[in-house]
Each structure stands twice: as structure tokens, then as C-alpha cells.
Structure 1
């Protein structure tokens, strides 16, 4: 039998800044109370430079509204979390439902981050504009498909082309997708368009992992479960909290910790997976 080669002792010690010198694009990071901001803060705390994508009109049209301090307020919160004072934290808008927007966003983010992009976190999604089987229509289905699925694949395509164009295919490439609980319990019968779009991302994760393997990029999806981002209150909020063994909702930093870990070298042997981060959430 060949001799097993163990890592050197110093390699086993946890690096407090495992993403130092790397760059990341996080989409859907437009509110300080959202998962995107929490992910960006974690990546910045690990040493990365981060570009924050936002689409303020989407949030402004929702019951919770846009962040009162706007995108710059979100970016300020991410800068506050930086462990490297020289790391870049930049931001810009984009309506990713437009066919040309994903490639433009990848190019803009890479330019702002010094011409390279190591980590892409596709966190954005369309809220609302959905319903039951009896309520949905073609426009609802198309809207969710365009924002929640098509734009993610086009982002992945642009990211792959950017990575392929580099003279050396550096390690550390990560594509991280966000799915939902459409495959658990009773599914999501009240949000069929959203469930379809997110389910497609879960289904394509392994195929993308194979497509990205030659580029030294791992691909994984995370299902964050119910996360308290301010969209429920009162009795409905308490009812959901009671379905967790811990008696509380997930917080934005709960899935952010998993996503940030997947971006590090510690997760270099994890790819093609859909990972639940739900705190033992019990459906039904």
C-alpha cells in the first residue's frame, strides 16, 4: 500500500483569513438585513475583496421596502467587517432579468476587483409575483425563470469564460448557488413559480460542477431554510419559529457561515452538492 501523506502540522491550523487576496461577487446584496449582506460580511472578514450587486427597485416594491441607507449603507457594513484594510468593497446595480445583464455584471465586478473573480455567490431572487397552481400564469412563470434561473446560468457562463481566459487557472474558484426547500416535506404549493425556478438550480448543480471541473472551480448549492429577513411578523412569524428545534428562525449569518466556508480551501473537495442549512426545521 502507498504511504499516506498527511498535511504538515502548520497546514492543520486554522487560518483566520482564509480568503486573503481573493475576490468575490455577491448578487442580491441590497439590504443589511438580507442573506447577501451577511455573506459579503463573512467573505470580507475572511480577507476577500467583495463586489456587491443590488437591484433596489425590487426591494422598494416589496412590503419590507428598500434599505433606508441604500446600497452605500450596505457596503459600509461590509467594509466594517473587513479583516484586510486594503480589501476592496465596491457595489453596483443590475436588473438580472435582462438577458445581457449577467455578463455585464461579471465584467464590471471583475474590473472593480482588479481584473479577476475567484468566488461567485448567486444569492439574488425574485420575491412575490407567484401563487398556487390555480393562480399562476405565464407571466409569473417567465418572471421567476428569468430572474431565479436563467440569470444564474448566464452568470455562470460569464464566470466560466472569465476563468478560462486567465493564463493560469488558479485554484480557489467557487460558484455558490442558492436554492430553497422545494424538495422537502410538502414542497412549496403556494409558490409554484419560485419552487420551479429554484428546483432547476438544485437539479443543475452536479452538471455545473462537472462543467467547471477543468477550470478548477467547485460548484455547490445551499438551501438556507426559513431565514428571518423581515418578511414576516406577528403570529405567522411565531408559528414558523415553533417549527425549529431551537425555537428561533434562521438568521442571515447562519447560511452565510456555510457559504463562506464553502468558499475556502477547506471545502476544496466538496462539489456538486445541494446542502441544507435549516437548523432541523420541521415541515407540517
Structure 2
């Protein structure tokens, strides 16, 4: 006997829903994969980017530019809009949500995927970098949730806030303290935000995707981490996107206040 599982693919399980996805600035990135997945499931998407940050990093900005990225997502139109905005400005989160609501009439899902990457040991960190990492990663996520909740119509189903952390609760990251500390704050805020919004039918969850190949790691790190993953490879952005899509769908409605470690069995001790 053959048993076929219904994965929900092709059903447009998010038809009529509106999602804000932050951090959509590289085709190799998680944000791009999430935006593409939600669009494929029928959602309308406001894609947020801040390309100057990527341009300052070793991996650099996407050579196709935002025009190429948006074109690959199907092009700006009825179901896709775009905004370039800097989360170091405390007014940005509310502005992004307002633009999405104005563009599509409402917002149902917020995926706070944006991040500021910052290296720094205890000897090297500065107050300025700590403030910037906090502002973008932690404060930006809280204010996105606040702005989303303020405009959400609770008569609509599917209210979702989905945030991202990076496993700082599972192992230390002493070489990148500004990043680790600010992302750790997201882990700690998840349950409290979920409780604040539970009575309104809005779920709040955080994803720890583990090592994901988005082109940032050097060859040595790629090999070492690959040996610590049972599959012998890093995670793929589309694998993260499928989890986000499930959390955003009606199938994920019973999950809230959780930090989900989706790491493929990552054995940190084996690195």
C-alpha cells in the first residue's frame, strides 16, 4: 500500500494573507528564500532590505542589485512591494508596517529576518557597536511586533510574528559578542511577546536555523561545520523558508512562544 502525504504544496495555503519579510537583500539569503516561499503559497509580500549593510560585509551586496532580486521574485506588482530602510532609525519599523498596510490593506504576518552582523571579542567591543546591534536586531524586532499588533485586525485569522535567533542559547559565540548578545535578547523576548498577543489570536515564535549556507563562510569554516552536521552539509535557505511558511500557515496556529531549533542535528562538539 502506498501512502501519500499531503504537504500542502500547490494549495496556496496563504492566499489572501499579507506578509512583511525583512532582510531580503541577497538571492543567496534566507530572507529571499522566505519571500519566494510565501509568494509561492499565495501571500502578498512587502520585502524589506538594507543593502548598505551587505555592501560593508565580506560577502558584499548581491551583484544583481535590488532590481535583479525583485525581478527574480516575480517583479514588483500586485502581490510584491519593496522598501529599503535602516532599522537603526527607531521610526523605521512602524514605517515599514504602515507601508505594507497601505499597499495591501492589512498585514497578517511579520517575519523579522533582518540582522546586523558584528564581530567583536570582549576586549574589542565598543558601546557604539553594542548600541547598533541592539537597535537593529533586538529593538527592531520588538518595534516591528508592536507596530504590527497596533494595526492588526483580530477578526482576520493567521496573525503571526516570526523572529530569528542564532543558537546563542545552545553554545557561546565569544568572537561576535554584539551579534550574540542582541540575538540572545530575541530568544528571551519570544515567550513574553507571545503571552502579550495570545489573547488576540496572534502567535509569536522564533527560529534558530543553525548553520545555513548563504555564502558568508570561508572554506575552512564551511568544512569544519559541515563535519559537525549529520547530513555532511550546511542547511539551505529554502529549508528555513519551508519552516517559516508552515509557522505562517493555519497548520502552525497551535504553536506559540517557542524557539524552534531547526539545525539538522548540529553537533557543535564535533567541530
Q: What's the TM-score, normalizing by structure 2?
A: 0.93
Corresponding residue SS for 2:199: helix
Q: Any residues of structure 2 matched to 1:114-263 within 5 Å, and which?
A: 114-128=104-118, 130-163=119-152, 166=153, 169-185=155-171, 187-263=172-248
Aligned to 2:3: none
Following the alignment from structure 2 to structure 1, what is the Cα–Cα distance between the partners of residues 93 and 109? 15
Larger Rg over CA atoms: 1
Unaligned runs of 5+ in 1: 1-11, 81-85
Following the alignment from structure 1 to structure 2, what is the Cα–Cα distance between the partners of residues 239 and 116? 45
Q: Aligned partners of 2:250 and 2:109: how far apart in 1?
A: 12
SS of the residue corresponding to residue 193 of structure 1 reads: helix
Partner of 2:102: 111
Provide the C-alpha distance between the structure 1 equivalents of 2:131 and 2:16, rounded to a whole number of angstroms.
39
Aligned equivalents of 2:149, 2:56: Cα separation in 1: 33
Which residue does the alignment assign to 1:58?
53
Deviation at 1:72, TM superposition (A): 2.2
SS of equivalent to 1:215: coil
Residues in 1 aligned to 2:8 and 2:148: alpha-carbon distance in whole angstroms: 29
Q: Deviations over 1:72-113 (max 9, x none)?
A: 222222228xxxxx851111100011111111111012212x
C-alpha offsets along residues 233-283 of structure 1, whole Å, 9 cap, x if unaligned?
A: 322211111110110011111111111100000011000000011001111
Q: What residue ranges of structure 2 are gaps of 5+ in the alignment?
A: 1-5
SS at match of 1:199: helix
Structure 2 match to 1:9: none
Q: Distance in 2 between matches of 1:56 and 1:13?
A: 34
Find 1:92's aligned residue among 67, 83, 87.
83
Distance 1:13 1:251 in 2: 19
Structure 1 residues 264 and 159, CA, compared in 2 at 3 Å: closer, same or farther? Answer: same
Cα drift, residue 199 of structure 1: 0.9
Output the CA distance in 2 between the equivalents of 1:87 and 1:226. 34
Contact 1:39–1:259, Cα closer than 8 Å, also in 2: yes
SS of structure 2 residue aligned to 1:117: coil
Q: How many residues get paired?
A: 262
Contact 1:27 1:121 (8 Å CA) reproduced: yes
**Root mean square deviation, CA, Å:** 1.6
The residue number in structure 2 matching 1:3 is none
Q: Relative to 1, partners in 2 of residues 1:204 and 1:13: Cα closer, same or farther, differing over 3 Å?
A: closer
Alpha-carbon contact 1:208-1:272 (below 8 Å) kept = yes
